Amino acid sequence: MVTVRDLKDLVVLVDEQDVPIGTRGKMDVHRSGELHRAFSVFVFDPQDRLILQQRALGKYHSGGLWTNTCCSHPRPGEALADAAARRLREEMGILCQGIEHQFSFIYRAEVGNGLVEHELDHVLFARHSGDVRPDPREAMAWRAVTDEELDHELRTGPDRFTAWLKSCWPLVKERRGAGLRHAV
């Protein structure tokens, strides 16, 4: 019998069209660099600022770096929206409804300690006006920034941010600039 605990450490391997081709342990996949399914959630506050998190130092990679509100991997058989809502709650203490899929992209980045992120990343947007209460094992800090503030920080201190945020942010801005800024 497969338990939730067993599923927690499995990621879904996919081809470039996001067709599942198997599952494998999360750490094995990050060592081998196999393409797998992931998601990144960008949550905006009532002032249209992006809620960023600073990854906890104890994370298996990219500890201490700033990134989008939440990012993770859906479990095998788990719908993206359900996985995003679950991880927003677990990582940031955010209860969100209306999480909307915006686009997907593939990126590959070496993230240190011999680990590689090679993800077909589904990008989702949401709005949140309540409390943010990060789990300190997941995020050591959080803050809300305007698009312009994040652009400036990415230009002047790119080493402070995760590889996937740097890859994804131009696509997020493009999508928001296409009339979706207030529609999320």
What is the CATH classification number for the domain harbouring 158? 3.90.79.10
- The pLDDT score that the predictor gives to residue 78 is 96
- The pLDDT score that the predictor gives to residue 7 is 55
Q: Which residues are catalytic?
A: 71, 119
pLDDT in tens, the chain (184 residues): 444 444 578 999 999 999 999 999 999 999 999 999 999 999 999 999 999 999 999 888 888 999 999 999 999 999 999 999 999 999 999 998 889 999 999 999 988 888 999 999 999 999 999 999 999 999 999 999 999 999 999 999 999 999 999 999 999 999 987 654 444 4
**Neighbour-count burial for 52-85, b at 16+ CB within 10 Å, e otherwise:** bbbbbeeeebbeebbbbbbbbbbbbeeebbebbb
Instruction: State which residues form the domain around 151.
Output: 4-180
The count of domains in the chain is 1
Beta pairing, strands 50-55 & 139-145 = antiparallel
- The pLDDT score that the predictor gives to residue 62 is 85
Q: What distance lies between CA 124 and its chain's CA centroid?
A: 9
Other Cβ atoms less than 10 A from the Cβ of 98: the count is: 10
- The pLDDT score that the predictor gives to residue 182 is 46
